[in-house]
Structure 1
Amino acid sequence: MSEAFGDSNSMTKSPDACAYCGISGPDSLVKCNTCKRWFCNGKTSGAGSHIITHTVLSKHQSLSLHPDSELGDTMLECYNCGNRNIFVLGFVSAKTDSVVVILCRLPCAQSKNVEWNTANWQSLIEDRALLPWVAKPPSEEEKLEAKPITSLQITKLETKWKQDKDATLEELEEAETEEELEPILMRYSDAFQYQRSFAPLVQYEANYDKQLKQSQSLERLTVTWSLGTNDLHLATFALQSYDTLGTKLAVGDQMILRYSGSELAEPWEQSGFIVRIPSATRETFTLELIDSKNKSVPTHLHTGFTAELVWKGTSYARMQDALKRLAVNKKSVSEHIYYALMGIDAPSVEFKVKKKKSYSIPNFAKLNASQENAIHNVLSKPLSLIQGPPGTGKTVTSATIVYQLTKLHKGQILVCAPSNIAVDHLASKLEQLGLRVLRLIAKSREDVESSVQHLSLTEQMRKHASKDLKRLLALKEKNGELSASQHKQMASLLYKEEALLMDKCQVICCTCVGAGDRRLAKRKFRTVLIDESTQASEPECLIPIVKGANQVILVGDHQQLGPVILSRKAGDAGLRQSLFERLIYLGHMPIRLEVQYRMHPCLSEFSSNVFYDGSLQNGVTAESRSRPDSTFPWPIREMPMMFWAVFGREELSASGTSYLNRTEAMNCEKIITRLLKEGVDPGKIGVITPYAGQATFVVQYMEMNGSIADKSRYSEVEVASVDSFQGREKDYIILSCVRANDSQLIGFLSDPRRLNVALTRARFGMAILGNPKTLSKNLMWNRLLMHFREKGCLVEGSLENLKLCNIPLNRGGQATNGEFGLAPSTATGRSQSYDTNSLFSYGTGSNLSQQNMHFQDTANSLWPKLGGRNEQQSVASSTAASSRRSSFISVENDEIRNLARQFRGQIRF
C-alpha cells in the first residue's frame, strides 16, 4: 500500500492542499465552494485536471482561487448575471485593452454589448483543465512530490465521500477488494453452467444501478404544482444535474418528494411516478404523486424541496428468475431451443409448413422477395434470426410473421421488445391486421399516454368489467381506499376478469421484462417473437423465451445500437453482447432483408457497402426522394448530402459530463433556417448529436438567434441523441459530431453502430457537421470522409458559398472494433466498450500543443493581476455587477498580452 501511494509523510501536510494528490502550491490550487476542499489544476494520466475531475464527479460547480495565488481570493462567476457554474464560464476582451471580462456562455456571451467583443468568447476550461492563467499547472518539482493517484482511485474516493466526507483513499483501498467478473462463454455444457456464467453479471449490473440511483442527491428543487386529469397532484421541477446522472431516469420510475423546511409543522414526503421527462425543448420532470387525491399536499410551497430516486430491482430479479427457470425446469423451453441456447450441436429440426405463393396480406404492404423468403424460413424453423437493416420493413415483416403463425397454430403468441415504444409500434401493426391484440403494461406506466392505450389490459378491464367489479373500482376511485373484505373481493374479480381477457386474445404484447409479470406467471407460449432483440441483453431476452417456447424468432440488426449496460465492467465481461450476436457466432446465419424503402439512393450507399456487404437494394428512386423546387445549396444537386467541414472547438457543457460545439450549433441553425424558408415542415427535420450538451445548446441557440421571425417553428425541430432516433426517420437529418480537439479524441463517436444509425435516418437529405482533422484519425470516419470527397460532397466555407474542402486525409487511421462494422464477439465474450458518461474513457491523455506548453513554461511569473473596476476600465453599467471584481482581469504587461494572444490564437486582451 505504501508503495502504491508513496510516503504520505514526505509531503508537508497542509489544509490547503489538493485532496487527491496533496500538491499545495497556491497558484495551482482551486477551492470547491460546495464541499470546501482544495484541488490542483494538474492532471492524472488519461483524465482531466483534478479540479475539473472533481467538479464532474461531484456535480459541484462553484470555484474560488487561492488567496495567495497571483489572482487572489477570486470567486469565478459571470460579471453580468452572477452565474457560478464553471462549465459555462468564459472570458472576452473588453474594448479597453487592459481588461478581460468573465461571462457565461448563455445568455450573457450571446447578448450584444458595445463594451466587449463577445465574438471571441472562450471557455475557462481547455482540454479538461482550467486555462493556465486562471490556475497554473503544477511545476515539475511539485509533480515529483505529489501522491500518485489513478482515475479509478479518484472515482472510488468521490463515491465514498458522498457517504463519508472524511474518507481517505488509503482507508478506501484497504477496505475494498476488487470483484472479479468471469467473461461469458460462447457454449455451455448445461443450463447450470449457463446460469453460473450470467447470474454474477446481472447481479453486478443490478448493484451498480442501485448504487448510482441511491447516490443521487437532488436538493433545492423548485416545484410547480398542478392537477392531472385523474385529480392526482402533479409536481413539475427541473434537475440541474439531469444529464450528469449516471443512470437515466425514465417514465414510470419512482421518486420520493420531500419538504422539511420551517414552513410546515412537521416534515412532509410523498411518493410518485415520473410521467414526463426532459427533452430538447423541455427541461422539467413531472411527478404524479401516488394516492394524493385525499392527502394533504403543500401546494402553497414552491421552494426547498428535495427528491430521492427509488431503486427497484424488478427487471434484474426477473432476469435471475429466468436463468434459474431454464436451469431447473425442463419444460421452460423445448429441446431444440435448449440446445441452441447452450450452443450444443444437435440435428436440425424443421416444421412442416406448406409454402405459399405469397405471404402478403390483403390491404397491407406488399412484400418483396427477401421478405417473402424470410417469412417462409421462419415459419418452418424452431429458431430464426432476421436481420433488418434500416428502412427494410422489419416491422411489416414481423407483423406478417405473427399473422401467418396465428393461422397455423391455435396457441397464443408472445410478442416482445426491449422498449415500450417498440412494443407499441408492433402492437399497432398487428391490430391493423385484424388480430385480437392485448397490450400488457407495467402498473407504473398505466397512466402514461400511448398510441395503443385502448389495447391495454387496464383499458380492456374498464370496458368489459362486470357490474360488481365496476362498482368496486368506482368506490376505490372515490374514497381512495376499500375495506379488507372489499379489497379481497376486488382482487378476486380482477384475477378472473384478467384471465378471461387474456384467454380471448391471439397475441399478447409486452416488453421483455414485462414477460415476467405475475399476470403471465402460469401462461405458456409456444411461439415467442422478440423485436429489436439486438438492443436487449441475453438474460433480458431469456425472460419471454423460458415461458415454454418451442419456436423463437429474434428480429434485429447487430450493426445498429446494442443493449444499454450501465456498468462497463459487466458489459466488458459479455453482458453487452445480445443473444442475437452470440447465436451468429455459433453459426446461426441471420436472414437479411435487402430492400430499403427509406433513403435517397445516395444516402444508403455508404452504409450498404460498409455494414451490409453492399447487399442493400433501393426500393425508392432518386426522383421520389427529391424536391424539384428545392434551392438548397447541396454541393452536387443530384446528391442531397454533404459533409460540411467545421473548425470550431469542443467545450464542456454546463454539466461538465457532456460536450458542445458552438460553431457547429450556429451552422445547424443556418441549415434549418434555409430548409424552413423553403417550406419544409419543421417536424420533418431532425438534428442528431451524440452529446446531450450539444442538443441543449442547439435548441437554446435557435431560440435566441434564429433568423426566422416566428421562432416557435424552431421548437418543432427535433434535436436528440442517436439512441433516440433508432428505429425512426425524418425527411432531413443534420448530424453534429461536436468533437474537435488537438488530441483527435472522439469518444463514443468511435462506435461504428452509432454512426450507422445516424447515417440511415434521413429520407430526402443529410448534412454532417464535423471537424475532419479530428475525425479522420479514426479509420471508419476516415473512410466516410473519403466517400464524401469522392462524391464531391466534402465542403467548407459559408452555406451560401460552399467550396471543396482539401484538408489532407490519411488513409491509415486508428482501427475500430470490427474495423467498420461490428465483428462477432470473440470466444472470450469480450467486446469493445464505448462509455457515454465517463470523461476518463476518451483517450490516453490530453497533450497540449507546443504553443500552449510554451505559454505555460514562459509565463510562470507573469500571471495577470485581478484589478478592481475603475471608470476607465468600466465595461458595464449594471450596479448589481459592479461588486464582482472576479469578473475582471487587468493585464498590465505587454509580454503577458503577447503570450495570451498565442493561446489558441483567439483571445485579445
Structure 2
Amino acid sequence: FFFEMDFLTSSQSQPLSQEGDTGSSQFGFVGLNTQAYTQGSTEFVEFDNSTPAETQAPITADSASSWKGLDQESSLPDSETMSEMSSKLEDKLNFEDQFVEEDVDEVDKVLPEWACMYCGIHDPACVVRCNFPGCRKWFCNSRGRTSGSHIINHLIRSKHKEVCLHPKSPLGETVLECYNCGCKNVFLLGFIPAKSESVVVLLCRDPCLHSNQLQDMDWDSSHWTPLIEDRRFLPWLVKVPTEQEQLRARQISAQQINKLEELWKISPAACLEDLHKPGVDDEPTPVQFYYEDAYHYQNVLGPLVKLEADYDKKLKESQTKDGIAVRWEMGLNKKRIAYFVYPKEDNELRLVPGDELRLRHPGDGTHAPWMCVGHVVRLTATEEVGIEMRSNQGCPVDLNHGFIVDFVWKSTSFDRMQNAMKTFAIDETSVSAYLYHKLLGHAVDPQFLRVTLPRRFSAPGLPELNHSQVSAVKSVLQRPLSLIQGPPGTGKTVTSATIVYHLAKQNQGQVLVAAPSNVAVDQLTEKIHQTGLKVVRLCAKSREAVASPVDFLTLHHQVKDLDQGGELNMLQQLKDDQGELSSADEKKYKTLKRSSERDILANADVICTTSVGAGDPRLATFRFKTCLIDESTQATEPECLIPIVMGAKQVVLVGDHCQLGPVIMCKQAARAGLFRSLFERLVMLGIRPFRLQVQYRMHPCLSEFPSNTFYEGTLQNGVTADERLRTNIDFPWPIPTKPMFFYNSIGQEEFSASGTSYLNRTEAAMVEKIVTHLLKAGATPDALGVITPYEGQRAYIVNYMQRNGSLRTQLYKEIEVASVDSFQGREKEFIILSFVRSNDHQGIGFLNDPRRLNVALTRARCGLVLIGNAKVLSKQQLWNNLLVHFKENLLVVEGPLNNLRQSAVQFQKPRKFIFKPGSTYGIATPLMHEAPMPQVMAPPLYVPNYYTVPGGPVDYSYQPGMAPAAQMRAMNNAPPSAAGTGSRNGPYGGYGYGGYPESQSSVGRTLNTQGSQDGPISQVSFSGHSQP
C-alpha cells in the first residue's frame, strides 16, 4: 500500500476526494497489487475515499510534491523531520467529527454495529475492525482508562493480528497489509517514505524491510516507522477520539477488559453486562500462610494446580503449526529424526528436550496420510528442532514439505502434584509429625536431631568449604527442616553435595535429591558422584535419548552396563533392530528390565531426579527419610511436595527467594499465589535460612550493587579483581579497572510479531557492535552471553547479528542469546544486557521485578555491559539506584563504541521502593482477596548474623495463639500405607485431591507434560504473574 501526500496548498494540486467524501482533498490512498512487484512498471490506481459503491478516480501526476517542502535533490529527512511529517499527515487528513451529539443513556441503547466493543465510541475515523475470522469486532483508538488504545488492547489479549479500517474512514475500507509480501500482521507493519516522491509505503519489518529487492527500489528503509506507537495506531492512520467523545463514552477499566476478553474465548457474543452474571467473576481461594490441616491445604492448592493444568492443556493444544518443512536424518540408535524450524517468537511455550510432538502429513496423490509421535532430542540456536520418532515404519522420508506439528499435552506433572497433596493428607507415614505441622505453618517447638557431627565438614573430591558453608552444613545435619539461601556464585551446588555426602554417611538410609530442572539435577548429580557415593540419576523415559553430562550415571545406562551380553541386552538389540518384539519376548523384556532397575536403585546411596520425577512409578515402593531439594525457590509448592511425601523425616530446601521464582502461565492461578514457593512461605513464617556469604563468580565491582541492594551488603568476594580482569582482551571500558558500564540508548521500543513482547532495534544494533568488538579482540563465542527480558528482542538480536554482523555468520550463531529466566543458575565471562523498554507512557513492565534485575546483573564473571534508556528506567526507584551507582562511578556513557563519553542524561524522580523478597515485585503487599496474614514478623532487611547464627538475636517465630496449635499425629515409623487406600473423610471429606471430585481428576494417568517429569511445568521468556 502507498499513501500519497501533497503539502502544497489546495490550489496547487488537483483534489483527490469528491463531494461527500470524508477524506482530505490533499491526501490520496493509492493501491496496487500487494502480492507482487515489478520494478519500473508500477501503476497506481486511486481508491476513492467514498463508500465502496462509488466509483474510483485516477490520480494526476501533478499531485506529487516533496516531503516537508523538500525538492528531490534535498537531503534525507532526519528523525525530527519525520516526526513533523507524521503530524502533518494527521493534519492534512482533516478528520471530520462524525460523533453525533446524543444523550449519554442513548449511547448504550442505540449503537451502530461498528461501535467500540469496550467503550461505545463509533466515529468511523476512530474505529478499526479486528479482521480475525470469528471475531470481526470493532474497537477505537482511544486509551480510555488503560495504558494502550482499545484496539491494541484487544489484539494483544486475543492474540489477533489483522485489522480493517471503516468504509467511511478517510482511507476507506482497507485491510492493512505489507505492499511487498501481503503480510497482515499489524505488529510487523510500518511505513517508509520514498526518497524522491511524496508517497509512503507499508512494509513489514521482517523480512521485507531487509530484503535485497528493497535496497534497489526508491525507498528510504532507514526511516521505517511502525504503525503502532506507544500502544496505539498512529493518529494519521486511525484518529484518536476527542476528549469530549471519550468523556461521553462508556468508562471501562483494564480489569473489566481482561475479564471480557477471557469471557469472549468461551462466549464470543458476550457483552460487558455479562460480567456481572453469577460465576463469571469467581476467583479461587488464595494461598494461605498456614493451614488448618492437610485437607485444608489440599483444597486450597489443588484447584490452583487444576487451573494451571487446564490452561497448560489449552495453550498446548492451540500451538498447531502447518506448512512445516522437514529434513530427515537417521540417529545413532537407528531411529528417524525429523528436523524443522519452530519459531519461538510466535509461541508462549518454549520447547525443552523431552517434550512430545506429533508430526503428521495429510498425504498427497502418491502418499497416504501419515502421523507419528516423537520427542524432542535437539534444539539449536537457529530455532531448529529435532524430534526422534517412536517408530520408523511408514516415515515419509521422501517428503520434505507440507507437514503439520502438534503439541502432545500430558498430565503427568499435574497428576503427581495432586497425588502428593492427597498422600500428604491421607498417609500418616508420608512425613514425620514434626514436618507435617511445620509445613502447614503450625506453632511447634523446635526439634534437634541426635547425630554425630563429622570432624571435617568438607567432602572428599570437592573444594574446601568456607566459614558460611561450614556453618550451613553443620546446622543442617542437626535439624529436621532447614533452608539454605545461596546468592549468586556462592557455591550452592558444592554445599548441597557436601550435605548429601554427610547425610548418606549417617546410615539413615538412602538420600533422595531433587530439583525442578534437569540442568540443576545433572550438575548436582555430578558433584555428588565426585564424593565417591553410589549415585543413580533417574530420567523420564522420554528423555533417555537426550544427551546428558552424567549419562553414565543414569538408570537406563546402568541397566545396559549391568547386563552386558545377557538376555536383556540381547532382547534390547532385537527390539532396536526390528522395531518391536513378539508378545512373549516383550513380556520377558519388561520383566527383566524392571528387575534390573529395582536392583540398581536399591543399591544406590543417593537417587537424583527432578521434583516431578520423584513421583515416577519406579520409586513407588521406596521410602526416603532424608530429602534435599535444590533450586527449590524455582518450584511451586505442590511440586516441592512430591519428593517430600515419600517418608521424609529430614528435609533440606536450597534456593534463593531473591532470584526468580516458579513460572506460572495461568494468571488466575498466579493471582491466587501459586507463584509463591514453599521456601518463600517458610521464610515469611519466620524460619531462618542459612545464607552462604562468599561469592566466587563476579569481579568485585560487579558484585557490589547486588550485594548492597539484595543481600544487605553481606556478600564477601572470594575472588580478587586481578583474577577477573581479562587484560588480553582489548575492550574500551571507560574505567579499565572496572569492567562494566551502562550505555544510554534512546531508541524506541516496538511490538514484536507476536504482539505480546517487545523489541528495540537501536539496542539490537548496539549489541551487535559490542559483540563484534569483543570477538575481534579475542573473546570466544562461548565466553559471551546476551541477555534480554523479552522474547521479541531475543529473536530480533539473533537475526540481526547474523544478517548485519561483519564477521562469519557461524561465530554469531555460537553466541547464546537468551532470556533472563533461562540464564538463571548460569554464567558467562562477558554479559551484554539489553533492557528494551523505552516509551513515554507504558512504564517498564516486568523489569519492575527486582528479582529479575538481580539475576540479570549476576551472570557475568569478568565484564558487564548494560544497554537501556536511562531516562525511562530511572522512574523506578530500584533502577534509579542502579543508575546512580553507575553514574557515581562515571560509568553511564553514550556515543560510538570507540569514543565513549559520559552521558549528561538527567534521571527522572523515582517512586519510593522497598525491596522485600517475600512479595511480588519486591513490594510486600497482600495477595488479591487474600485473608489477613497471621501476625508474624518477616525477617528484617538486615540483622547482624540473622542468616548464619542458629537461634539468632531476635525470635521471628509465631507468637502464641497466632497459628493453630499442633495436634501431633503419630510419628511415621509405621510401614508405608498400602497403595490405593481410599481418601480420609476429614473436614473436607467427599472430595479427592485438589478440592474437586475424584471423578474429575486424572488419577492413574502416566503421561508426561511439557518438560516431562524432568523439568519445570512450563518454561517461557516471561513470568506468569507479570506482563509479557
Instruction: Bin the TM-score by the shorter chain.
Output: 0.7 to 0.9
Q: How big is the shift at 1:783?
A: 0.6
Q: How big is the shift at 1:657?
A: 1.0
Q: Which moved more, 1:674-683 or 1:525-534?
A: 674-683
Does the 8 Å CA contact 2:121/2:140 hold for their aligned counterparts? no
CA gap of 1:219–1:92, structure 2 versus 1, over 3 A, is same
Please tell me whether residue 237 in structure 1 is matched to residue 340 in structure 2: yes
Does the 8 Å CA contact 1:17/1:24 hold for their aligned counterparts? yes
Please tell me whether residue 268 in structure 1 is matched to residue 367 in structure 2: no
Out of 520, 531, 549, the position equivalent to 2:648 is 549
Please tell me whether residue 672 in structure 1 is matched to residue 774 in structure 2: no
Please tell me whether residue 634 in structure 1 is matched to residue 733 in structure 2: yes
CA gap of 1:152–1:215, structure 2 versus 1, over 3 A, is farther
Please tell me whether residue 473 in structure 1 is matched to residue 586 in structure 2: no
**Secondary structure in 1 aligned to 2:283?**
coil
Does the 8 Å CA contact 1:748/1:836 hold for their aligned counterparts? no
User: In the alignment, what sits opposite 2:944?
Assistant: none
Cα distance in 1 for partners of 2:893, 2:258 equals 42
Cα distance in 2 for partners of 1:744, 1:61 equals 20
User: In the alignment, what sits opposite 1:100?
Assistant: 200
Q: Which moved more, 1:714-723 or 1:526-535?
A: 714-723
Q: How big is the shift at 1:53?
A: 3.5
Cα distance in 2 for partners of 1:470, 1:576 equals 45
Please tell me whether residue 210 in structure 1 is matched to residue 210 in structure 2: no
TM-score (norm 1): 0.85
**Secondary structure in 2 aligned to 1:319?**
helix
**Secondary structure in 2 aligned to 1:540?**
helix
Q: Which moved more, 1:456-465 or 1:80-89?
A: 80-89
Cα distance in 2 for partners of 1:742, 1:314 equals 45
Cα distance in 1 for partners of 2:779, 2:804 equals 20
Cα distance in 2 for partners of 1:712, 1:639 equals 31
Q: How big is the shift at 1:370?
A: 1.1
Please tell me whether residue 324 in structure 1 is matched to residue 422 in structure 2: yes
User: In the alignment, what sits opposite 1:761?
Assistant: 859
Q: C-alpha offsets along residues 508-533 of structure 1, whole Å, 9 cap, x if unaligned?
A: 00000000110111100111010001
**Secondary structure in 2 aligned to 1:345?**
coil
Please tell me whether residue 809 in structure 1 is matched to residue 907 in structure 2: yes
Q: Which moved more, 1:197-206 or 1:304-313?
A: 304-313
User: In the alignment, what sits opposite 1:885?
Assistant: none
User: In the alignment, what sits opposite 1:881?
Assistant: none
Q: Which letter maps to 1:627?
A: R
User: In the alignment, what sits opposite 2:622?
Assistant: 523
Q: Which letter maps to 1:433?
A: T
User: In the alignment, what sits opposite 1:84?
Assistant: 184
Does the 8 Å CA contact 1:573/1:830 hold for their aligned counterparts? no
User: In the alignment, what sits opposite 2:66?
Assistant: none
Q: C-alpha offsets along residues 540-579 of structure 1, whole Å, 9 cap, x if unaligned?
A: 1110011111111111111111111112222232211111
User: In the alignment, what sits opposite 1:858?
Assistant: none
Q: How big is the shift at 1:369?
A: 1.1
Q: Which letter maps to 2:446?
A: S
Does the 8 Å CA contact 2:786/2:831 hold for their aligned counterparts? yes
**Secondary structure in 2 aligned to 1:209?**
helix
Please tell me whether residue 253 in structure 1 is matched to residue 253 in structure 2: no
User: In the alignment, what sits opposite 2:88?
Assistant: none
**Secondary structure in 1 aligned to 2:763?**
helix
Q: C-alpha offsets along residues 634-658 of structure 1, whole Å, 9 cap, x if unaligned?
A: 2222111111111110000121111
Does the 8 Å CA contact 1:388/1:593 hold for their aligned counterparts? yes
Q: Which letter maps to 2:618?
A: R
User: In the alignment, what sits opposite 2:329?
Assistant: 226
User: In the alignment, what sits opposite 1:116?
Assistant: 219
**Secondary structure in 2 aligned to 1:390?**
coil
Does the 8 Å CA contact 1:835/1:841 hold for their aligned counterparts? no
Q: How big is the shift at 1:793?
A: 0.9
Q: Which moved more, 1:358-367 or 1:395-404?
A: 358-367
Q: How big is the shift at 1:592?
A: 0.8
Please tell me whether residue 361 in structure 1 is matched to residue 459 in structure 2: yes
Cα distance in 2 for partners of 1:165, 1:476 equals 51
Q: Which letter maps to 2:407?
A: L
Out of 499, 516, 537, the position equivalent to 2:636 is 537
Q: How big is the shift at 1:618?
A: 0.5
Q: Which moved more, 1:778-787 or 1:569-578?
A: 569-578
User: In the alignment, what sits opposite 1:719?
Assistant: 817
Q: How big is the shift at 1:162?
A: 6.2
Q: How big is the shift at 1:704?
A: 1.7
Does the 8 Å CA contact 1:358/1:372 hold for their aligned counterparts? no
Cα distance in 1 for partners of 2:1020, 2:493 equals 30
Does the 8 Å CA contact 2:333/2:576 hold for their aligned counterparts? no
Q: How big is the shift at 1:141?
A: 6.6
User: In the alignment, what sits opposite 2:716?
Assistant: 617
Q: Computing the radius of gyration over CA atoms, which structure comes out larger, 1 or 2? A: 2
Please tell me whether residue 792 in structure 1 is matched to residue 890 in structure 2: yes
For residues 739-888 of structure 1, what are the structure 2 equivalents within 5 Å?
Answer: 739-743=837-841, 745-810=843-908, 812-815=910-913, 818=916, 822=922, 828=930
Does the 8 Å CA contact 1:29/1:38 hold for their aligned counterparts? no
User: In the alignment, what sits opposite 1:686?
Assistant: 785
Q: Which moved more, 1:808-817 or 1:617-626?
A: 808-817
User: In the alignment, what sits opposite 2:599?
Assistant: 500
Q: Which moved more, 1:815-824 or 1:389-398?
A: 815-824
User: In the alignment, what sits opposite 1:597?
Assistant: 696
Cα distance in 1 for partners of 2:780, 2:922 equals 35
RMSD: 3.1
**Secondary structure in 2 aligned to 1:237?**
strand
* Structure 1 unaligned regions, length at least 5: 844-909
**Secondary structure in 2 aligned to 1:800?**
helix
Q: Which letter maps to 1:367?
A: L
Out of 800, 805, 816, the position equivalent to 1:706 is 805
Q: Which letter maps to 2:177?
A: E
Q: How big is the shift at 1:361?
A: 3.2
For residues 420-459 of structure 1, what are the structure 2 equivalents within 5 Å?
Answer: 420-459=518-557
**Secondary structure in 2 aligned to 1:574?**
coil
Does the 8 Å CA contact 1:31/1:64 hold for their aligned counterparts? yes
Cα distance in 1 for partners of 2:276, 2:318 equals 20
Does the 8 Å CA contact 1:78/1:104 hold for their aligned counterparts? yes
Q: Which letter maps to 1:202?
A: V
CA gap of 1:349–1:506, structure 2 versus 1, over 3 A, is same
Q: Which moved more, 1:210-219 or 1:391-400?
A: 210-219
Does the 8 Å CA contact 1:584/1:824 hold for their aligned counterparts? no
Aligned residues: 830
**Secondary structure in 2 aligned to 1:349?**
coil
**Secondary structure in 1 aligned to 2:581?**
coil
Q: How big is the shift at 1:299?
A: 3.5
Q: Which letter maps to 1:680?
A: A
Cα distance in 1 for partners of 2:277, 2:318 equals 22
CA gap of 1:60–1:830, structure 2 versus 1, over 3 A, is farther
Q: C-alpha offsets along residues 72-111 of structure 1, whole Å, 9 cap, x if unaligned?
A: 3444333444443322222222222512232332444346
Please tell me whether residue 129 in structure 1 is matched to residue 232 in structure 2: yes
Q: Which letter maps to 1:84?
A: K
User: In the alignment, what sits opposite 1:562?
Assistant: 661
Does the 8 Å CA contact 2:145/2:252 hold for their aligned counterparts? no
TM-score (norm 2): 0.76
**Secondary structure in 2 aligned to 1:187?**
coil
Q: How big is the shift at 1:711?
A: 3.1
Cα distance in 2 for partners of 1:794, 1:603 equals 15
Cα distance in 2 for partners of 1:352, 1:793 equals 54
Q: How big is the shift at 1:813?
A: 2.0
Please tell me whether residue 70 in structure 1 is matched to residue 170 in structure 2: yes
Does the 8 Å CA contact 1:777/1:814 hold for their aligned counterparts? no
Q: How big is the shift at 1:186?
A: 1.6
User: In the alignment, what sits opposite 1:904?
Assistant: none
Q: Which letter maps to 2:322?
A: E
Q: Which letter maps to 1:396?
A: V
Please tell me whether residue 380 in structure 1 is matched to residue 483 in structure 2: no
Out of 325, 330, 334, the position equivalent to 2:432 is 334
Please tell me whether residue 490 in structure 1 is matched to residue 592 in structure 2: no
Q: Which letter maps to 2:706?
A: S
Q: Which moved more, 1:32-41 or 1:304-313?
A: 32-41
Cα distance in 1 for partners of 2:889, 2:715 equals 19
Q: Which letter maps to 1:287?
A: I
